């Protein structure tokens, strides 16, 4: 099995790029954001907690996200691997993923990091808020908190995966097609 992580700040294009990538390489795209939004829409106890945290721009506790992700691994059939979008976001989550994969005799294949500057993050998130009617993407203070949280809690994963020799940075600027071509070229080179 292949285990790809699509990585980058909010608004970098992870979800946009995950769709063609998962289809082309027969990967199950697992978006933790989509999983959480489903829980919120269903009004589950987890959804209520997640909604409150997300609306403030904060992360949902690691164990909750890990349980949802690992359940999706167990339920998957007929795929050549997984494309993780929005996970891991912290070193603790990365270590939990590594442990889970080690137990199965597997490992992360590659971390594909979409890099964009902070100013473009703001622009894209605001645009997404209009297109998808996402209240958590419409408020400047929440966006600023999400960017700050990304830099403080998620960026340390860059060194974590660089040390393992599986971190690859890709420019997330330009058209969807341009970024897709860069991702495909990288995957073909692995």
Known catalytic residues?
14, 89, 128, 134, 146
Given the structure tokens 């909604």, which residue do they identify? 51
* HSE-up (13 A, CA, CB side) for residue 145: 14
Q: How many CB atoms lie within 10 A of CB 15?
A: 16
Contact yes or no for 141/149 (Cβ under 8 A): no
For 86-181, list the strands marked E by DSSP. Answer: 110-115, 167-171
For the chain, list the strands marked E by DSSP. Answer: 2-7, 27-31, 81-85, 110-115, 167-171
CB neighbour list of residue 49: distance below 8 Å, 6 or more residues apart: 60, 64
Contact yes or no for 51/40 (Cβ under 8 A): yes
Nearest of 71, 72, 99 to residue 83 by alpha carbon: 72
Which H or E run includes 118? helix 118-132
């Amino acid at each position: 099995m292949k285990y790809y992580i699509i990585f980058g700040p909010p608004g970098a294009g992870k979800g946009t790029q995950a769709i063609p990538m998962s289809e082309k390489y027969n990967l199950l795209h697992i978006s933790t954001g989509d999983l959480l939004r489903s829980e919120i829409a269903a009004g589950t106890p987890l959804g209520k907690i997640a909604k409150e945290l997300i609306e403030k721009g904060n992360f949902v506790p690691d164990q909750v996200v890990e349980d949802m992700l690992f359940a999706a691994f167990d339920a998957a059939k007929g795929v050549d691997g997984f494309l993780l979008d929005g996970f891991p976001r912290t070193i603790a989550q990365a270590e939990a993923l590594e442990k889970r994969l080690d137990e199965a005799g597997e490992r992360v294949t590659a971390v594909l990091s979409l890099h964009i500057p902070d100013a473009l993050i703001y622009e894209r998130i605001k645009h997404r808020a209009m297109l998808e009617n996402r209240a958590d993407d419409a408020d400047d203070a929440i966006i600023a908190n999400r960017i700050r949280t990304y830099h403080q809690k998620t960026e340390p994963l860059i060194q974590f995966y660089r040390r393992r020799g599986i971190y690859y940075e890709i420019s997330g600027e330009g058209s969807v097609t341009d970024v897709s071509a860069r991702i495909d070229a990288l995957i073909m080179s692995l």
